[in-house]
Amino acid sequence: MPSSLLWAVDVYGRVYSLSTAGQQWEHCRDAHLEFKRVTAIQQCCWSIACDHQIYLYVHASDVPIRYQEETYENQVSWWNPVDGFSDRLLPSDRWQWSDVTGLKHQPLGDFQLPSENWEWEADWYVDENFGGEPTEKAGWTYAIDFPATYTKDKKWNSCVRRRRWIRYRRYKAQETWVKVCTKQTGSLPDPFNDITCGGWEITEEPRGCLSLWAVSLQGKVWFRCGINHHNPEGSVWEEVPVPGEVVQISCGPGDLVWAVLWEGDLLVREGIGRDCLKGSSWVMVESPDTGVAAAHVAVGVNVVWAVTKDHKVWFRRGVNSHNPCGSGWIGMVGEMAMINVGFNDQVWAIGFEDRAVYFRQGVTASELSGKAWKVVSVPRDSERSHSSASASSLQSAGCFFGGEVRLQSHASVLGDADPETERTGAEVVPTPEMGDALKPRIPKVTSDNFISELVSDRDGQISRRDAPPAGPSIPEEDHTEKEVEDRVSPAQVLSPSQSSGVDPQWSNVDLEEAQTHLASGPGDTAETSSLSSVVTYILALEEPYGPDEHPKWAWVSGGGCLVECHTQLNWFNSSTATGQPALNSSMQAMSHSITPAQTAEWRKQIFEQLSERSKREMENFMHYEQAIEQSVWVKKGTMQWWRDWKPHKWVDVQFALEQFSGAEGNKDGILFIYYTFNDEKKYLHVFINEVTILVPVLNDSKHTFAIYTAERTKQRWPIRLAAPTELEMHDWLALLSVSCCDSRGIQGPPSKQAIWSVTCRGDIFVSEPTKELEAIPYPTPCNQMFWRQVGGHLRIIESNSLGVVWGIGYDHTAWVHTGGYGGGFFQGLASSTDNIYTQTDVKSVSIYENQRWNPVTGYTNRGLPTDRYMWSDASGLKECTKNNTKPPSPNWTWVSDWTIDYAVPGGTDREGWQYAADFPASYHGYKTLKDFVRRRHWARKCKLTTTGPWQEVPPIPLSDITILPCGPKSTVEQVPLWAISNKGDVLCRLGVTSLTPGGSSWLHVGTDQPFKLISIGAVHQVWAIAKDGSTFFRGSVSTQNPAGDCWYHIPSPTGQKLKQVSVGRTSVYTVDENGTPIHVWIIADKVQGSHSLSCGTVCRRQGVLPNEPKGHSWDYGIGGGWDHITVRGNAMEAPRILMPSLTDNGSNQTAARPLQTSNQPEMNGNPVGC
Amino acid sequence: MADDKDVLRDVWFGRIPACFTLSPEETTEREAEPYYLLLPRVSYLTLVTDKVKKHFLRVMKAEDVEEMWFEYEGTPLKWHYPIGVLFDLHASNTALPWNVSVHFKNFPEHDLLHCPSNSVIEAHFMSCIKEADALKHKSQVINDMQKKDHKQLWMGLQNDKFDQFWAMNRKLMEYPINEGGFRYIPFRIYQTMSDRPFIQKLFRPVSPEGHALTLGDLLKELFPAAICVEDEPKRFQVMIHGIEPLLETPIQWLSEHLSHPDNFLHISIIPAPSD
C-alpha cells in the first residue's frame, strides 16, 4: 500500500510530517512561517500560520491539476451571402464570443487566471472534436439559427455556425505552501484561529468537492466554497451563522461537522448533503462532563471524540450520518491536549503531560473506540535549520506578543548560516557564568485559546511534578523540565521577577535588535561569537530540544494518514520488539534474511550450481529406480455437492483425495466424491491430472468452488462443491491446487509468456502456454488448458512477454506483479515467501429501490401485483432489501452504509430517482407526464483483504491499462505501458523494464476530453477511445519519445460507438508479412455447452492469419464467469494480435465488440453457468 | 526470478545415481547382478537400501548373511552421515554412477555403527534435530512440538514427503527478525584425511557489530586452509550438497536453505582435483 503522511506542528510552530512507511518526522522546510494549525487530507494540507492567514500545500502528483476554459465563437451567414459566414452578428443575435448558451459574453481576452498559482498551458485553440466525431472545417458546427441543434456538416439551410475554443490552465503551486488569497467581495473574515478540512466522501468522483471550515478569532465560522479537483484553493469564504462564539471546529470525511463553543458546549451541523455541503442548521450538544467545559472536538465518519478542559478524553456513542448528534458520552483513559480523527476513524492525539503524539491502537470498524494509547516515538530528522527555526520562532513569538502580524523574512537567511556559527553559539550555553540564569524564554507560538488555558492550568501543578519522565539522563531531564515549564507559561515569560540581566526582555525593541544581528550573523563568522546574549542564547536554546530530545507537539492531523489493520507502522518504541520472547518469530523469517540479497552474486551462483548439479547427477539416470517408494496418501472431508441430476440441489457428500506417485515419479491423485442415491452408496471420481481448473465461485452464503476438466468445460457443467467453512474450502483448494500442479510438474512462479485471466469474482488465474496450443493446423483445444490460481484480487489484468504484468483492482488501484506466486489461501510451500504483499480491494454492491406512481398518493412503494420487488437487483427479478443483501462472498466485509448513487448513466433528480414509463424501460433523470415508475440506485461498499504477489503502484487510480506486446526475443529496454486514470487522464509509465516492472513515474499525456480505453500495438501504435466514443491515434510514439507528440482523431465506423480497442503486431490496416499465426482471444457473453449455458467464457478465434484476420471459428475454453484475459505475454512463436472482432464489422479494424463480458450485474452472480 | 523455495526443493530432491555391486569377498550361489538406484542425497544409506538388500539376498545363502554394510574404494561408508555427504566426501569428481560395494560379512566394528533397524536411524536423526535446535533456539522450538510433530519430520524424511517434512521443519527455521539469525549455526565440517570425525563449534550468524557472517568467516575461523590464497592453486573444495557456494554467502542463509533434514549444515572439505 502507498505510504501516507501524518502531519504535526511542534510547539515552535514547525511543521513536520511522518510517513506511514517512514521512521522519522520530516521537517517541512518549505515553510518559512510558523504554523499554528494544520489539517491534512490525502491530496493536500491546509494550515493557519502565525499571521493568521490560511496556507495550502498541495502534494505533487503525476497528473496535473488542470482546468479547461471554453468559449464559443458564433457566426451567421445571411448577412453576407457572398462572403459566407461573417462575424458581424445581428444586434438580436448572440455575442460573437459567448458561453455555450450564447447568453454570456465571453471574449478570449476576458479569461484571467484565478490566482498567481495558476499558469496557462498553451494558447487558445479550436476544438475539432464534435460529439466523438472529427469536424472538417476548422471545428465549425452548423445550425439553422441560434439556438438550435448543431451538426458537423454544412447544409443548404445552415445559416449560423459556431465553434468551440478551449484553453487549459494548470495549477502550478505544488509541493509548496501558498497563501490562499481572499479575493473576497463582501465581508472579509477576520484572522483565522482554527481550520478543518474534510467532506471528501460526500460527493463522488469526478466532482471531488472538499469542505473547509474555519473559525475566526472572533468566534465566527466560515465555509470555503468551491474547493474541488479543478480548484484546490476554492473560491470564496461564506460566513455560517453560529449561535455563539466558536473556538474550534472539526469536519469528518463524511457529513459530520462538530464545533466547540467558548462556553464549552458543542454544536453539531445538520443538513449536510451532496447538494448542501454547508449544511443547514446547528444543534447544541452539552459538554461531556457537567461543570467542565469541552475544549476540543474531533470527528470522523462515524465517531466523535472530545477533550474537556480538565484534559479528559471522551468518546461519543451512536454517531452516524442519520444521527450526527450521537447518543451519549463515554469517558476514556488518558489526558490529552488535543485530539484528531483521521482516515478510517483512526485517532491521534497530543498528550497533555508530555506533549507527545499518541496513536489510538486497535480502532476498527467494529471497535471504534480502540484499545489503548500508544506513543509515536520516532526521531525528527536532525537538521542544521534548527537555528533558523528557533530564530524564526523568536520572531513569530515577538509578533504574537507585540500584537503585530508580520511575515518574518529573515528565517531563510539564517537557515543558510554556516554550521560552524551555530556550533559556536551552541557551546555558549553550558558555560558556568551563564548558569541557571539562562532560562529559555521562548513563548509558545500556538496561541489558540484552549492550549493557553491548558498551559495556565499547569502553573499550579508544577510543584507536584517531581518525577521526570524517562530520558537519557536525569540531570539533563531536570533541566528540560524547567524549560518546559518556563517555555509554555506565558505568565512566567512576562514576569519581570524572572528576568535577570542577561535575560532578553520581550519587547519589540529587543526583537528588532535580535533580528538585525541574525541577519548579519551569517555574513560574518567572527561577529557571531560576539553576538548579544539574546542571539547566542537563542541558538543555544535548540540544544535541549535537539533531535535526541523528546519533541513537544502542539497539533496533529491524521486526515491524510491511511492506517488500516494490516498496516505495519514502525513508529512505536522499538524496545518492545526486542523484549519479545525469542521465538515469537514471524513466519516471514526466511524471507527476511535474504530480501536485501535477492540479486547477490552468491545467490545466483547457488541457483546455477544447483541446477547444474541436478543435471549432472540426475539427467542421465532418470531411468534408475527411486530408492523410496511413494505410498498412497489420503485426505478426507465432508462437503456439499451440487448434484448432477434434477432436481439440482446441494447434497452432503464425503470427499477424499488419494495421492500417489505417478509412473514418472511425479505425484498424481484421484478425487472421490461419495454420495448416496436411492439409499445406495455411489461415487464420482476425477483424475487430478485431468483437472483443468479449480475455481472459487461467487456465492453470498456458501463457500463454493467448481472443478473443471476438459470434458466438463465442453459440457459447461463443472463439479460444484461447497465446503462447511471458508477455512476448509481454502485448505482444500490449496491442497488440490498443489496436487494438480504436482501432477503436471508445474511449480514456482508463472513464466513470462503466461496467459493471465481474472474471473468476475476477482480471482486471478494463470495458464502456461504450450507449443501444442499453437500447433497448426490442429491446435490443442483451449478447454485443455490448465489454469492455476494466484493470490490477489483484480478486475483487469494485462501482461507482455517480458514478464511485465499489471492489474487494476475494483477500486481502481493499480498493481504490479512481483514475480512471485501463491499468496491468498496458498500457504507455505505453494507460495513464494519473499514477494507476497497484502492486497485490498473495495467494490460496491448495488440494489434498486423501485416505486410506482399512484394518482392519489403519488409515488409509493406499493407496486402493482405484477410489478417487480420494491427493493430489487438491477433486473428486478430478485428481491434485494437493504437488510438481506450481503457482501458478494463471506470474504468481504461492509465498510460503508447504503448510499444513493447519483452517478448513474442518464442522470438522476436531486433525490437520486430515475424515471421511466414502466419497468423495465429506459430511465431518465427527470420526471415527465408519461412516467409512472421510478427507481434509484443504492450502493454499499465492501472490502476484501488478501495477499498475493502484487505490489501497489500508487497513487493514481486507473481504469484501463495496456502494455506493449513484445516478441519472444525482444530486446525492448523500456517497456511502453499506457494507462487511463479513473478520471480519464491518459498516462504513460516511465521506467518499466523486465527488472523493474513497476516503473518509476507517470507522464501525463494531455487530452481534450476524458478517455476510457487504451491499447498499444507492437510497433508503438497507441490507440485510445474517449468517453464520448471518439477514437484517437497517438502520433510519433517511439522508444525515444515514449509519450508521442499529438493525438489524431480517427472517424469511427459509421453508426457505431467503439467500446474496445486492442492493437496487435500488425498495424491497423496493414497486414503482417511473415505469415505467423495471430491470436485473438475474447470473453464471450454466452456459450452453449452440451449440458448448460455459460456466460463469460474464454474463447479463442481459430484460423486467424495475417491474410485472414477474421479467422474462421471459435474455440471455447474455460468459463463462465470470466471477466478479462490477456494473451499479450504469450509470444512463444508468434507475434500476437489481440483483435476482438467478434463478427460482423466487416473490416479488419482494431476494434469491435466488447472483449469483456457484458456488465449485467446478474451475470456476476453466476460464474459457473447453470 | 527463482525463489528461495526452489533451493529447498532442489536440495530435497537431489539424487545420486548409485550402482551397488556385491563385494567379491562375499560368497554367492550364483552371480549377482549389480543393482542401480537413485539415492536421495538427504537420506541415510541404511534407510533407503531395503531393495538392495532384497536383491542380493536372493543370490545368497541365509547363513552367509550378517548385517549389511557398504564400502566405497576401501572406505567403509558411515550410514549415519547423510548420503550426499558421503558422496561429496569420497566420490565427488568421479564418474557416475557411484559404485558402492555391498558387504554382508566382516562388519568393521571400529569404523561403523550398527544399524539393526530403522528405529536406530530415527533415533539418530531426531537427536541431530534436537541438537541443532539446542544450538539455534535453546531447544525451544523442538520442545514446543508434540510427539506427532516429531514423527511428522521423521516420516517426511522416511517417505520422501517434502511437503510433509517442510510443513513442520519451517518452524525450526524461524528466528526473531531483530536478531538477524539463529543463536548458533548448527554445522559440521568433514574432511577426508582426518582422524577427527568432523569439526563442530559454536558459531553465531551475526558478528558482535551486527553484520551477517559468511561461509568465508566460518572457514577462516575453523579451517583457514580451505580459503584460497591469491596466486596459489586452489587446494580444497568446500562442498555443500555437491555445490561450492561462494565464500561471501551468508552463513545464516546457508543454514536455512542448505541444511540437511537433520538441520545441520554439512560441509565437506575435499582436496581440489589436481588437473
| Domain residue ranges in chain B | 13-103, 119-265
Cβ-defined contact of B160 to A628 (cutoff 8 Å):
yes
Residues on chain B touching A628 (C-beta within 8 angstroms):
40, 43, 48, 158-160
Residue found under cell 491546509: A46
What single-letter amino acid sits at A839? Q
For the segment A1011-1028, the average pLDDT, to the nearest whole number, is 78
Cβ-defined contact of B176 to A606 (cutoff 8 Å):
no
The model's confidence at residue A72, banded by pLDDT at 50, 70 and 90, is confident
pLDDT of residue B123: 93
Q: Could you confirm whether domain B13-103 is CATH 3.10.20.620?
A: yes
Q: Is residue A747 classed exposed, middle or buried when 0-12, 13-18 and 19+ CB atoms within 10 A define those classes?
A: middle
Torsion angle in degrees (nearest 10) through CA of A826, A830, A834, A836: -30
Residues on chain A touching B212 (C-beta within 8 angstroms):
593
Cβ-defined contact of A610 to B252 (cutoff 8 Å):
no
Task: Select the more confidently predicted residue: A1109 or A366.
Answer: A366
pLDDT of residue A636: 82
How many inter-chain contacts (A to B, CB under 8 Å) are there? Answer: 168
For helices A474-488 and A449-458, angle between their N-to-C axes, nearest 10 degrees: 130
For the segment A106-127, the average pLDDT, to the nearest whole number, is 84
Cβ-defined contact of A621 to B250 (cutoff 8 Å):
no
CA A520 to chain centre: 48
Torsion angle in degrees (nearest 10) through CA of B220, B223, B227, B231: 110
For helices B4-12 and A601-618, angle between their N-to-C axes, nearest 10 degrees: 30
pLDDT of residue A1134: 34
Q: Is residue A691 classed exposed, middle or buried when 0-12, 13-18 and 19+ CB atoms within 10 A define those classes?
A: buried
pLDDT of residue A447: 38
Cα-based angle A504, A510, A511 (whole degrees, multiple of 5): 105
pTM: 0.65
**The three three-digit cell numbers of residue B16, written as one number:** 545420486
Distance, in Å, from the CA atom of A295 to the CA atom of A456, rounded to the nearest integer, reads: 14
Which is nearest to A141 in space by CA: A125, A156, A123, A129?
A129
Residues on chain B touching A602 (C-beta within 8 angstroms):
245-246, 248-250
Distance, in Å, from the CA atom of A692 to the CA atom of A1140, rounded to the nearest integer, reads: 25
Dmax over Cα atoms in chain A, in whole Å?
106
Check for a shared fold between B13-103 and B119-265. Answer: yes
Q: Number of helices and strands (H, E) in chain A?
A: 15, 67
pLDDT of residue B83: 93
pLDDT of residue A392: 37
Interface of A with B in 682-741 (CB under 8 A): 738
Handedness of CA A424, A430, A436, A442 (dihedral sign): positive
- Give yes or no for A577 touching B (CB within 8 A): yes
Peptide bond into A1120 cis (omega under 30): yes
Interface test with B, best of A587, A602, A736 (most B CBs within 10 A): A602
pLDDT of residue B16: 92
pLDDT 10s digits, A275-290:
888 888 999 998 888 8
Residue B168: helix, strand or coil by DSSP? helix
Residues on chain A touching B263 (C-beta within 8 angstroms):
none
Distance, in Å, from the CA atom of A996 to the CA atom of A880, rounded to the nearest integer, reads: 46
Distance, in Å, from the CA atom of A519 to the CA atom of A411, rounded to the nearest integer, reads: 9
- Nearest-by-CA chain B residue for A607: B7
- Give yes or no for A575 touching B (CB within 8 A): no
- A6: Cβ–Cβ under 8 A, 6 or more apart, which residues? A17, A18, A19, A20, A40, A342, A348, A357, A376, A556, A557, A558, A560, A561
Distance, in Å, from the CA atom of A1028 to the CA atom of A129, rounded to the nearest integer, reads: 10
- A841: Cβ–Cβ under 8 A, 6 or more apart, which residues? A762, A793, A794, A809, A810, A811, A813, A943, A944, A946
Name, of A407-411, A493-497, A909-913, B251-255, the range with top average pLDDT: B251-255
User: By the 8 A CB rule, do A39 and A472 touch?
Assistant: no
The Cβ of residue A623 has, within 10 Å, a number of other Cβ atoms equal to 8
Closest CA of chain B from A821, distance in Å: 10
User: By the 8 A CB rule, do B268 and B245 touch?
Assistant: no
For the segment A472-496, the average pLDDT, to the nearest whole number, is 39
Cβ-defined contact of A828 to B166 (cutoff 8 Å):
yes
pLDDT 10s digits, A548-572:
457 788 899 988 888 876 667 777 7
Cβ-defined contact of B174 to A590 (cutoff 8 Å):
yes
Residue found under cell 449485467: A1160
User: How would you classify residue A269: left for phi > 0, otherwise alpha for psi between -120 and 50, otherwise beta?
Assistant: beta
The model's confidence at residue A1029, banded by pLDDT at 50, 70 and 90, is confident
Residues on chain A touching B48 (C-beta within 8 angstroms):
627-628
Task: Select the more confidently predicted residue: A1113 or A487.
Answer: A1113
Instruction: Please provide the size of chain B in residues.
Output: 275
Residues on chain A touching B96 (C-beta within 8 angstroms):
616-617, 620-621
Closest CA of chain A from B200, distance in Å: 23
At the second CATH level, the architecture of B119-265 is Roll (3.10)
- Give yes or no for A749 touching B (CB within 8 A): yes
**The three three-digit cell numbers of residue A269, written as one number:** 451541523
Task: Select the more confidently predicted residue: A540 or A702.
Answer: A702
Distance, in Å, from the CA atom of B186 to the CA atom of B134, rounded to the nearest integer, reads: 9
Residues on chain A touching B250 (C-beta within 8 angstroms):
593, 597, 602
Cβ-defined contact of B96 to A621 (cutoff 8 Å):
yes
pLDDT of residue A315: 92
pLDDT 10s digits, A793-809:
998 888 887 888 999 99
Cβ-defined contact of A627 to B40 (cutoff 8 Å):
yes
The DSSP 8-state label assigned to residue A1096 in this structure reads E
Which of B140, B181, B243 is facing A610, going by the closest CB pair?
Answer: B243
What single-letter amino acid sits at A156? W
**The three three-digit cell numbers of residue A295, written as one number:** 475544549
The model's confidence at residue A1097, banded by pLDDT at 50, 70 and 90, is low
For the segment A673-677, the average pLDDT, to the nearest whole number, is 87
User: By the 8 A CB rule, do A706 and A716 touch?
Assistant: no
Does A431 have pLDDT greater than 90?
no
Sheet containing A1047-1050: which strands, arranged edge to edge?
A: A1011-1016, A1022-1026, A1031-1034, A1047-1050
The model's confidence at residue A363, banded by pLDDT at 50, 70 and 90, is confident
The Cβ of residue A732 has, within 10 Å, a number of other Cβ atoms equal to 22
CA distances to A583, A1108, B100, B131, B189 from B266, in Å: 25, 62, 21, 14, 6
pLDDT 10s digits, B153-180:
998 898 888 888 888 898 899 888 777 8
Task: Select the more confidently predicted residue: A1147 or B189.
Answer: B189
- DSSP bridge pairs for A826: A823
pLDDT of residue A1100: 63
pLDDT of residue A861: 74
Handedness of CA A267, A273, A279, A280 (dihedral sign): negative
Distance, in Å, from the CA atom of A918 to the CA atom of A1154, rounded to the nearest integer, reads: 29
Cβ-defined contact of B38 to A587 (cutoff 8 Å):
no
- Give yes or no for A198 touching B (CB within 8 A): no
Which is nearest to A984 in space by CA: A1003, A1019, A958, A945?
A958
The Cβ of residue B26 has, within 10 Å, a number of other Cβ atoms equal to 18
User: By the 8 A CB rule, do A797 and A764 touch?
Assistant: yes
Residue A484: helix, strand or coil by DSSP? helix
The DSSP 8-state label assigned to residue A630 in this structure reads P
User: How would you classify residue A819: left for phi > 0, otherwise alpha for psi between -120 and 50, otherwise beta?
Assistant: left
Residues on chain B touching A605 (C-beta within 8 angstroms):
245-246, 249
The model's confidence at residue A417, banded by pLDDT at 50, 70 and 90, is very low
Does A850 have pLDDT greater than 80?
yes
Cβ-defined contact of A613 to B17 (cutoff 8 Å):
no
pLDDT of residue A1023: 78
The Cβ of residue A954 has, within 10 Å, a number of other Cβ atoms equal to 12
Distance, in Å, from the CA atom of A794 to the CA atom of A1065, rounded to the nearest integer, reads: 26
Phi, psi of B232 (to 5 degrees): -105, 145
Phi, psi of A771 (to 5 degrees): -60, -35
Interface of A with B in 586-605 (CB under 8 A): 586-594, 597-598, 600-603, 605
Which is nearest to B44 in space by CA: B126, B111, B109, B103?
B126
Distance, in Å, from the CA atom of A778 to the CA atom of A768, rounded to the nearest integer, reads: 19
What ipTM did this prediction achieve? 0.92
Residues on chain B touching A625 (C-beta within 8 angstroms):
36-38, 51
Distance, in Å, from the CA atom of A58 to the CA atom of A172, rounded to the nearest integer, reads: 10
Sheet containing A237-240: which strands, arranged edge to edge?
A: A192-198, A211-216, A221-224, A237-240
pLDDT of residue A196: 92
Closest CA of chain B from A133, distance in Å: 47
Cβ-defined contact of A618 to B158 (cutoff 8 Å):
no
- A432: Cβ–Cβ under 8 A, 6 or more apart, which residues? none
